[in-house]
Structure formats: structure tokens, C-alpha cells
Structure 1
Amino acid sequence: MNGGSDESSKEDGGRGDSKMNEFKNYIDTQKGWITFDGAATITRTGVNFASGAAFSISLEEVDILDELGKGNYGTVYRVRHARPKVPRVDGTTGRVMAMKEIRLELDEAKFTTILKELVILHECSSPYIIDFYGAFFQEGAVYMCIEYMDGGSIDKLYDGGIPENVLKKITYSTIMGLKSLKDEHNIIHRDVKPTNILVNSRGHVKICDFGVSGNLVASIAKTNIGCQSYMAPERISGGAMATGADGTYSVQSDIWSLGLTIIECAMGKYPYPPEISATIFGQLNAIVEGDPPDLPAEGYSAQARDFVKSCLNKNPKKRHTYPMLLLHPWIKSLSKPETITEEAEAESEATDNDLADAAAKQLSINEGSGDAEVAEWVQEVMERKRQGLQPASTERPALHAAPFDSVSPAASLES
């Protein structure tokens, strides 16, 4: 880690030494460990969680294949787990992974981000959430090994718009990942956007980047973090329309972000016009004071447009919930019968015939092998990018960028 010089320590009145002492609660310099409030300990050879789960991996075990990108918090590499010291029962020996290198630099925000992401990745096992393979600490950096998605984040692929039937399946998988966070782990994502939705050439769709996620307390959260381009009006305005008037907001804020994400993927660009989104003030004012964007009437089904409207109601109490969205006609046929819960039945006031029809539907998305239609679309776009027939990047609005935007655990298809 980078320590300051003696001269600079004197100039700052000893604040550098004080900062080092503060981080002794995290770092054991003699053992080379990082400990997070008893929740997890990261060493040179792996990570051990308080739950008893342990993941063994080290820098000596991997071969770095190439660099995928850089962000505010560090660098992401594509690596191969070539020399495992401990045989792995999950078949990851030799597996290509994405490895995040996060330089600590005595930044407490980074410690918080690392802990949140580590705990969520290790606890949240879902076919719709990025897989976690382990972590280790070496030479002032934490390394996280996670699933590599060769298609990358969907913002790298959506130029010209995503076909509605593919978009429908991406939406379904995203909802299932977010619903799993909420229902099984009491977690709200707080940073739903295209850069945090990944795809691969096998047709899998998974959410990632949980460094700003937070636990829900009575379905509300108080901190105002995440990418402001996708924030719900109640988050920007300080919570006046939310559950409380003290800046709190509920999981419904993620559903607003989902609605904007769907439109962006459908149109291949950020939903608010460039003349509005070019400035920070204009963008925030449009979200809070203006009408919500919508899918164009031409080129998109009435069901798709209605689905998006149900996500983008400016009153969070009138927005659909995840169970209600899963019962919406636009994606209902993709749901397994068990996703049709009593909660969903009550919220949507579905009839017995609706539920029977949903239960009779066969699962269209195979969780193990991925979806064939999504896979075909990803492969086609990846091939066009290799041939230089599709732009590699999209212009961003004023508040779009956020830490790790450019370093998701994904393939870099830039030319």
C-alpha cells in the first residue's frame, strides 16, 4: 500500500499516522490478512467467512490472459485458474475467470465496498447472479475471482436496440436476480443499470456489482448511493414520495431503475434526450419534474410498453413489485409455477384461471444451459463487433459513469 513520506506526515499534523492506526482494525501487517468486522478474513491464499465457508485461491495459481478494463476502484483481468493448490470439487480447475484487482490506498469506502460485494457474492447463489470463485489479499490489493461473461455487459451490445423477444428474457432474468437478493437475503441492489447486467454466448443473463448494495430494514434503506442517471425520483428529491420523509426509500427504487434500463436496451441509448441528459441539472430535473420516458409506440408491443409504464410510475407506492411484474402478460410465460406466490396473487388480484395458466406454462429459460435465443443474439452481436460492423461504445449521459462501469467481469470487445 502507498504510505506517505515522513515530510508529508509532518505537514498533515500526523493525520497519516492516525489513518494507519485506524486501518489496523482491518489489516494485520505481520500476517498479511484483512479482517472485516468478523464477517470475513482475506489472506494471501484465500478468504474465510464467518459462516464457515472458505475459498482457497492465490495469485500464484492463476495465469493472467489479458486486461479487461480499468475503473475508479481498480483493474479487471481475464485469468485462468491454471495451478490450483487445493483440488476444487466445483470443476473450476483451469476455468477462465474475471479477477478484480482493488488497490486499497487507505480508503475506508473501498473496505466497505469490498466487504459488501464479498458477502453478497458468497451468500447469493442463483443462476441469475454472477458466480464467486474466491478472493485473496496481496501487496496492498484485494483480488476477487468471479465468473467471466464473454458477452460482457449489455450496454456494450445494445447498439441499434435489442429485439423485443430477447429483451423480454433479459428483463425476466434481471428481475429474478433482483428478487432473489430481496427475498432470500433482504438486499436491495441500488445500482441497477445496463452496465451491471451481463450476458454470455451460452445465453445466460446475470446481475453483478454489489459494492453499493445494502440490507433492507423494514423494506427501506437510507443511503443515497448508486448511479444517479438511473435513480428514482424519490431518491433524488430526498424521499418525499418514499415510505418516509427522512430520505428513506424502498426496493421500488430498483424497479424504476429497471424500467429505464429496459428502455435504454430497447432503443440502444439512454432514455432521456441528449439535450436534457447532457447536463447534471437538466438530467436530475427531468427525472424529478418531467414525465417518465416510454417505449416508442412504433416497433414495440402494447404489452412491452405497459410493462415499462408499470416500472416507471413516479409514485413508488403505485409501482409494480417483483411478484406483480412476473405476472405481467409480457413476461408471465417465462415464469416457473413456483414464482407465482400468494404475495403475487394478492398484489395483482390475479384470477384462479390466471394462476392455473401460469402454472401450466413450461419454463422457457433453462437455468442450466442458458437460453438459445439470447445466446444466438449475443453471438451475432459479438461477431459483428469483431468485424467492426457495430460501434463498440455508446455516448453516456452526464451522471452515467460510476465506479467499475468499465470493469465488469466481462469480455472486452473494443477494437
Structure 2
Amino acid sequence: MAARRNRPGFKLSDITGEDADSATAAGLGAGVPTVTAKEWQPRRPVSGTPFANFHKIVDPSGALNFNGKAILHASGVDFSNGASFAINMDQLELQDELGKGAYGTVKRVLHRPTKVAMAMKEIRLELDESKLNAILMELDILHRAVHPSIVEFYGAFFIETCVYYCMEFMDAGSLDKLYGVGVPEDVLARIVASMVRGLKFLKDDLQIIHRDVKPTNVLVNMKGQVKLCDFGVSGQLEKSLAKTNIGCQSYMAPERIKGESQNALSTYTVSSDVWSVGLATIEIGLGAYPYPPETYSNVFAQLQAIVHGDPPVLPAKYTETACDWVSKCLVKRPEGRASYAELLEHPFLVNDAGNTVDMAAWVSRAVAWRDKQREKERQAVLAKEAPPPHE
């Protein structure tokens, strides 16, 4: 992984001014994207700001200090184990907006010292100690999650009441905007194989369950690489039945829907993510979410269909092998679902490992299709907004 992190044109030492290999000396293991912590300049005091009441976390310089485990400040994050991520806003050239949500925004930025394009995610902090510690937990996960099927984390910093995460920029965007072009079986297998490997790594190496597996959280680049994102807490804070509205696309497993309806919130296991993988696979192959909200009278009818109805299946164009693989994910009883290891050992993904798949060509077609669709939508909006012609 060290070679991948230190690829030509981008080294963590370019950002931090330190040798990335010093991570090994700090006891963090070779290949982990960390460097020795550096001194940082204090920011202005926060007295009089909303954070003034959080003196246990916010020190007089304006940094967030988490029980000696990490310090989050304007120039980056310093972990007590010696890890440091020293990116700051002055190094970044803001470019276009990539997305917006309840948490904040995601923008494309250029990191000037390295000329590397990044996606910068803004997280507005809740003024609550548990939420602040949840953010720290996510940062801790991000800096340890080094895997070819996981979007790379470059660094983070804190300004006022926002944390900014700098991540790998996946230039083809999210899968939900691409699958409408049509997904051949070899491409589908390559996509889901990457998803399963990433999820298996999170579970086996970091003891993390993703909890939000869906096509919008699967990113693609023009090279044809497929990577998971949003496996940290920021993507999970609002995920509950109480927040579900008609029009939403639920990827919750049946046991989670039943558990939350009975306030039994401990029902989430790795098998719940396996269900979400199966549902996402159906959506990618079908080109649409398999429980269309518009076909149900309300959100409860939609959730009832997920819990009690027959699981969806892949379209007829896919082989029996592909359909069998998906059926192993969509077993109603969680204990009956396949494990990640079993999914990888299934002929559907074993065959994929031996195939040559031109993912870059498919991504190129999918991006061209997406851009054409967006232009049609733009033209339709313009036509609707245009004033009527004078008679």
C-alpha cells in the first residue's frame, strides 16, 4: 500500500513536510498513511463562540482536543500515536461543487503543493460532546482504512464549527448516476467484487460494519476503479426509520426494519450489510431501485414489502450464476445469508477474478450517457422557464 500512497506526483510528505516512512517508527505499521506529528500554530481564542461551553474539548487556542487522543485544528489533525494530517484551507483551490446534503457540502478542490485533485467534504459539527467524539471516531477509521476498494483519505482540518475531510477525487462520480447506461454481467461482477472486498476488509481488519451500502456510496473513476465511501459515522447519524420518508430508497435489511420498529436497535450485524449489497446489485443490474417509492401508498407499505414480500431478482439478461449469487445476499433470515468469504468464493466472483474486463471503456460510455442525460434535463428546464413567444 505504501507504493500506492506514494505514487508519482503525490506523497504524503509533500503535504506534511515529513517522511511518510516515519509512521513505522511511531509503531503504526508500514503502509499506513501517517507521519510524525508536527507543531502547529494556535488559532484565535474561541471565548464568546458556541464552543465556549465545551472547555473539556475546545482549548483556548480554538482547537478540538479529544481526551488526549487527537487534536483537530486549522492546519490538520494530530493523533497522539504520532499520526498527522496537515492539510489546511490555504493550500486548497476551491473548484466546483460535487454535492450537497444535510451534513454540508462536497467540493472538488486542487491541493496546490501537490497539484492533486481532491474531494473536500464539509461536516457541520453538532454542539454535542457525543457527536464531536463520533467525528473523531470517523477520522480514526478513515486514517486506518487503506485498501484498493476504499476511497483514499488525505487529511482533515477544523475551522470554526466545521470539519473538512479531504478525500480521493473519483472523477466519474457515483454509480447511481452511471448504471442507467446498462451494465453487462462482467462489469456487474467486477463492481460487486470490489464492493465485497472493501466491506470484508472493513469488517475483518477494522471491525467496522458499513451500515450504508448503496450505489450512491460506490464511487468510480475513469480508470475503471470502484471504491466504497461514506462508511464512517457522518453518513450514519441520520439513518433510522424515524427519518424515513416516502420517496426514500431504503436499503435496510428486514431484521433492521423490524428491530427499529420495535426499538430493538441492536439488530444490525454484518449480515445486514450483505442484504444491502444484494439490493444494490439488483439496482445496478436493473437500472432502477427495486422497490420504487411511487408504487406504494406510503413509506410503511414500502417497508412492509421489503420485510414480507418476495426478494427482488436480477433481470432475465443475467445468467443463473449471477442470480444465484444475489439470492445468497437476499435471504430474509440474517443467519441464512452468505458471508463475505462465501460471496467471494461463489462462481460468480471466482469467474470474475479470471476475466479481463475493460472497466475503463464501460465507465467512459456511462459518463457520456450521464452527461447527455444531464444536458437533456438542462434543456428541458430552460424550455420550461423560457418566456412565451410574442404573438
What is the one-letter code of the residue matched to 1:73? Y
What is the one-letter code of the residue matched to 1:150? D
Structure 1 counterpart of 2:176: 155
**Change beyond 3 A, Cα 1:38–1:392:** farther
Offset from partner CA, 1:349-382 (integer Å, 9 cap, x none): xxxxxxxxxxxxx5x58xxxxxx62211111121
Question: Which structure 2 residues correspond to residues 39-78 of structure 1 after superposition, within 5 A?
Answer: 39-78=69-108
CA distance in 2, matches of 1:307, 1:124: 27
Structure 2 counterpart of 1:341: none
User: Following TM superposition, by how much is the alpha carbon of 1:101 offset from its aligned partner in structure 2, in angstroms?
Assistant: 1.6
Structure 2 counterpart of 1:174: 195
Offset from partner CA, 1:210-241 (integer Å, 9 cap, x none): 23389xxxxxxxx968987001111111189x
Q: Contact between 2:177 and 2:370, CA under 8 Å: does it hold in 1? A: no
Q: Contact between 1:191 and 1:212, CA under 8 Å: does it hold in 2? A: no
Q: In percent, how many aligned pairs have the same letter?
A: 51
SS of the counterpart of 2:81?
Answer: coil
SS of the counterpart of 2:227?
Answer: strand
2:287 to 257, 268, 291: 268
Moved more, 158-167 or 51-60: 158-167
CA distance in 1, matches of 2:298, 2:130: 27
What is the one-letter code of the residue matched to 2:322? A
Structure 1 counterpart of 2:63: 33
Q: Contact between 1:189 and 1:212, CA under 8 Å: does it hold in 2? A: no
Structure 2 counterpart of 1:198: 219
Offset from partner CA, 1:83-105 (integer Å, 9 cap, x none): 3xxxxxxxxx1100001122225
CA distance in 2, matches of 1:107, 1:276: 39
2:270 to 221, 227, 251: 251
Moved more, 179-188 or 35-44: 35-44
SS of the counterpart of 1:260?
Answer: helix
1:315 to 309, 333, 336: 333
Q: Contact between 1:45 and 1:57, CA under 8 Å: does it hold in 2? A: yes
For the pair 1:111 / 2:111, whether they are aligned, the reply is no
Structure 2 counterpart of 1:138: 159
CA distance in 2, matches of 1:333, 1:37: 49
- Taking structure 1 as the reference length, the TM-score comes to 0.71
CA distance in 2, matches of 1:389, 1:146: 25
Offset from partner CA, 1:116-146 (integer Å, 9 cap, x none): 3311110110000010110111122111101
For the pair 1:291 / 2:281, whether they are aligned, the reply is no
Gaps of 5+ in 1: 1-5, 7-15, 84-92, 215-222, 336-361, 366-371, 394-415
SS of the counterpart of 2:200?
Answer: helix
Per chain length, whose mean CA-contact separation is higher, i.e. which structure has more relative contact order (CA < 8 Å, sep 6+)?
Answer: 1
User: Following TM superposition, by how much is the alpha carbon of 1:42 offset from its aligned partner in structure 2, in angstroms?
Assistant: 1.1
**Change beyond 3 A, Cα 1:302–1:125:** same
Q: Contact between 2:157 and 2:163, CA under 8 Å: does it hold in 1? A: yes
SS of the counterpart of 1:48?
Answer: strand
- Taking structure 2 as the reference length, the TM-score comes to 0.75
**Change beyond 3 A, Cα 1:327–1:278:** farther
SS of the counterpart of 1:230?
Answer: coil
User: Following TM superposition, by how much is the alpha carbon of 1:283 offset from its aligned partner in structure 2, in angstroms?
Assistant: 1.4
What is the one-letter code of the residue matched to 1:379? S
SS of the counterpart of 1:75?
Answer: strand
SS of the counterpart of 1:27?
Answer: coil
SS of the counterpart of 2:348?
Answer: coil
CA distance in 1, matches of 2:67, 2:287: 43
CA distance in 2, matches of 1:389, 1:122: 35
Q: Contact between 2:142 and 2:232, CA under 8 Å: does it hold in 1? A: no
SS of the counterpart of 2:194?
Answer: helix
Structure 1 counterpart of 2:346: 328
Gaps of 5+ in 2: 1-47, 379-391
Aligned length: 322
2:144 to 117, 123, 137: 123
RMSD: 2.9
**Change beyond 3 A, Cα 1:327–1:112:** same
What is the one-letter code of the residue matched to 2:56? N
**Change beyond 3 A, Cα 1:39–1:257:** farther
SS of the counterpart of 1:330?
Answer: helix
Structure 1 counterpart of 2:369: 384
Moved more, 374-383 or 73-82: 374-383
SS of the counterpart of 2:64?
Answer: strand
Q: Contact between 1:384 and 1:390, CA under 8 Å: does it hold in 2? A: no
Question: Which structure 2 residues correspond to residues 90-109 of structure 1 after superposition, within 5 A?
Answer: 93-107=114-128
